[in-house]
Structure 1
């Protein structure tokens, strides 16, 4: 594995922020993708949320997953805080879209209260990334069931975006999200594209979409944003880190 290509990168001797990276215990994609995107003077320190209810194959199952996640979140935060991080990054996104803009704000407030630190969520990062490109009409890809897709559409609509189409892959469990193939992810992106769509965005952090999104962006000539890229970008910029990281789409190298 090669390190990301940087411009404006800091000295190897300069110690950058320690990021607390919070993910569900079922997630096997975030750490792989985030470490590929890491400037050399920053570090990720993972706190895993213990997930017992892994099924996502119905609205009821999705609800049980969310209840499990919210109940176990404080323990994951407590554990990772022993590393004395400087900032919290949520490597999970479904819960941050729930309840629209107010729901995401409440989630952020809860994390701040538990840690005393500022936080980047997937929902905030996705919205800011689309705004950075000036997008108005978007296509959205998720691994979710319709109950999750409804929350995502409501969130983006509340931010002022027109959601032209959304394609949920309906992954059966929190673990099986990571089993979705690059071909399936590519097809999902193409299914929500159109000549009048300004940008494509993917939600669901366990859906390993960074490479597919970067390739499609070059082919389509429009922003194609993987949520893990958006989340890293938002966290770095919020901490004054302006390194341009190339090879993973235009967001991290342009803004």
Structure 2
């Protein structure tokens, strides 16, 4: 029997998964954010990402999550979902839902689109940690979801492990340096980057909403279960207004 207070997240390898217990504490209402890991290469390269997000791996993740009895499951990986393209990512989520016994399912890539729509954003900039060729696939995914990307810059970091080792100061600078004045918001698409504790500081510095991968992934899980609400410290997305 699913636990209405539990949401399951399939997280690839290890990098910034501690953002989830932090977010759970910030929610502070008894919601459980259960994380289970699947493993593959952490290289930001198309073929490796297609393998990482394969039905076989996500089925394994769904099986691992079953002990938590979640009421929804989310593939907590941006690049391992948008690399499939819009329709491929839809099929990926449908397959994940089936593997999870019919539970509502989504992925971080769709979370970005849903979050941008929820805030009424139309023109965004992307501050990607990935190599340029992978980052461009995220831009294409956003465009398929009706989100206009007015600027994209990539930090050309090859692996998730390297991203996970960035200090808070390095994360804030990476994001701030890639801001665009003509963008309504800045999107930061890598669940390997620790950002949950930094969202509000980044929004205050830039004067606009900042959507980050782990932040929107948590929000998406709440959306799937009908439990989205105002939460202090998690940025404009969690207070329903532009920063």
Calculate the TM-score normalised by the size of structure 2: 0.86
1:37 Cα offset (Å)? 3.8
Which residue of the other structure, out of 58, 67, 71, is the alignment partner of 2:51?
A: 67
How do residues 204-219 of structure 1 correspond to structure 2 at under 5 angstroms?
Answer: 204-219=190-205
1:198 Cα offset (Å)? 0.8
Which whole-Å CA distance do the structure 2 matches of 1:136 and 1:152 have between them? Answer: 15
Verify the 8 A CA contact 2:74 2:106 in the aligned structure 1: yes
Partner SS, residue 94 of structure 2: helix
Q: CA 1:139–1:87 in structure 2 vs 1: closer, same or farther (change >3 Å)?
A: same
Partner SS, residue 33 of structure 2: strand
1:208 Cα offset (Å)? 1.0
Corresponding residue for residue 24 of structure 1:
12
Verify the 8 A CA contact 1:164 1:192 in the aligned structure 2: no
Structure 1 residue 101 corresponds to structure 2 residue 86: yes
Corresponding residue for residue 155 of structure 2:
169
Corresponding residue for residue 40 of structure 1:
29
Corresponding residue for residue 239 of structure 2:
253
1:181-230 Cα shifts (integer Å, max 9, x gaps): 33332233233323211111111111112333311212332111122221
Verify the 8 A CA contact 1:112 1:119 in the aligned structure 2: yes
Partner SS, residue 198 of structure 2: helix
Corresponding residue for residue 113 of structure 1:
98
Partner SS, residue 246 of structure 1: coil
Structure 2: segments with no counterpart, 5+ residues? none
Partner SS, residue 125 of structure 2: strand
Greater Cα shift, 76-85 or 144-153: 76-85
Q: CA 1:101–1:33 in structure 2 vs 1: closer, same or farther (change >3 Å)?
A: farther
Greater Cα shift, 95-104 or 130-139: 95-104
1:128 Cα offset (Å)? 1.4
Q: CA 1:215–1:146 in structure 2 vs 1: closer, same or farther (change >3 Å)?
A: same
Corresponding residue for residue 10 of structure 1:
none
Calculate the TM-score normalised by the size of structure 1: 0.83
Corresponding residue for residue 139 of structure 1:
125
Which whole-Å CA distance do the structure 2 matches of 1:64 and 1:227 have between them? Answer: 19
Corresponding residue for residue 54 of structure 1:
42
Structure 1 residue 190 corresponds to structure 2 residue 176: yes
Greater Cα shift, 35-44 or 83-92: 35-44
Corresponding residue for residue 142 of structure 2:
156
Q: Which runs of 4+ in 1 moved over 6 A?
A: none
Which whole-Å CA distance do the structure 2 matches of 1:156 and 1:84 have between them? Answer: 31
Q: Which is greater in Rg?
A: 1
Partner SS, residue 7 of structure 2: strand
Structure 1: segments with no counterpart, 5+ residues? 1-14
